[in-house]
A and B are shown apart, each in its own frame.
Chain A
Amino acid sequence: MKLNSFRKKSPWILHYNAGSCNGCDIEILACLAPKYDIERFGIINTGNPKQSDVLLVTGPVTKRSRERLVEIYAQMPEPKVVVSCGACACTGGVFRGMYNCEGGIDQYIPVDVYVCGCGSRPEQIIDGVIEALAILEKKTKDLEQSIRLKKEPVKEDTQLNRRDIAAEIKEIA
């Protein structure tokens, strides 16, 4: 495990429940608890999108949650990663195709890590977050590089990202 190399980062998580059954949410809570204690990795559950790096989403995104999810995602500063927790957040799980939900959060925001399981064990969530940390680091580097090389990076992170990177490029030029 090369975990030590990730330790120089401090991912702060934001948890949003987009209509899940609470199953995965309580497992996220369990991750914070002494037995799993994800603060070992410097993780804090901030509850504040503006200071978070990792968005942990559960639930299949109901129609009413959709706008809130996107809003919260937009308020998080890059670099950020999204971890979808549990089958229903990944793909809709058992709720696929129900009339009021959308079948997976990646229909609305780009997801980096999918944590499987229904409900996912805390171990799985930790694995997912650690996976996310690597991506976070890579994204940070990409962002730096893109500023240095004055070129557009990370394709997948949509318009939002591109706009501010363009601004930074202008600044350097």
Chain B
Amino acid sequence: MNRIETSIDKVKDDIRNFYKPDLYHFVVINAVDLGEKIEVQWFFCEYANPSNIIAFCVQINPDEEIPSIRDIVESSWVAEAELVDLMNIKIQNTAKGFVLEPDFESGPLRKKK
């Protein structure tokens, strides 16, 4: 697993420069609650060398809005919608209520304070 640390402003450009549909496979977006911060990880892997898993990692504050990569990787909308509900974070152009009932407030995967 190759971690590529980047920042919230740059991550979208990084992914745009990196992602080639016929070379890389988009796996999933994950987020981990680190307490103060939340780490968001975009996982890709290479079709040719599959052991090579690339993760773009960004640490954000819980109330920051994360850019959506839907225009780069079309199929990322499911992962984004899920993260919004489960982590209670904001992602550009993504509404709540896909995974959980729309009235479910707190993100269950966040650490309880």
- Which residues does A use to contact B, with CB under 8 Å? 63-64, 99-100
- Asked whether any CB of chain A lies closer than 8 Å to the CB of B35, the reply is no
Chain B residues 64-108 with CB under 8 Å of chain A are: 100-101, 104, 108
Report the interface size class on chain B.
under 10
CA distance A124 to B100 in the complex (A): 33
Chain B positions within 8 Å of A99 at CB level: 108
B108 touches A64 (CB 8 A): no
B101 touches A63 (CB 8 A): yes
CA distance A99 to B108 in the complex (A): 8
CA distance A63 to B104 in the complex (A): 10
Query: Could you write out 5 A-B pairs with CB less than 8 Å apart?
Result: A63-B100, A63-B101, A63-B104, A64-B101, A100-B100
CA distance A102 to B100 in the complex (A): 14
CB B85 to nearest CB in A, in angstroms, measures: 11
A64, closest chain B residue (CB): B101
Chain B positions within 8 Å of A100 at CB level: 100, 108
Nearest 3 CB-CB pairs, A to B? Answer: A99-B108, A63-B101, A64-B101
Chain B positions within 8 Å of A64 at CB level: 101
Chain B positions within 8 Å of A63 at CB level: 100-101, 104
CB B87 to nearest CB in A, in angstroms, measures: 14
CA distance A64 to B104 in the complex (A): 11
CA distance A49 to B101 in the complex (A): 25
B101, closest chain A residue (CB): A63
CA distance A64 to B99 in the complex (A): 9
CB A97 to nearest CB in B, in angstroms, measures: 13
Chain A positions within 8 Å of B104 at CB level: 63
CB A110 to nearest CB in B, in angstroms, measures: 25
Chain A positions within 8 Å of B100 at CB level: 63, 100
CA distance A9 to B100 in the complex (A): 41
A63, closest chain B residue (CB): B101
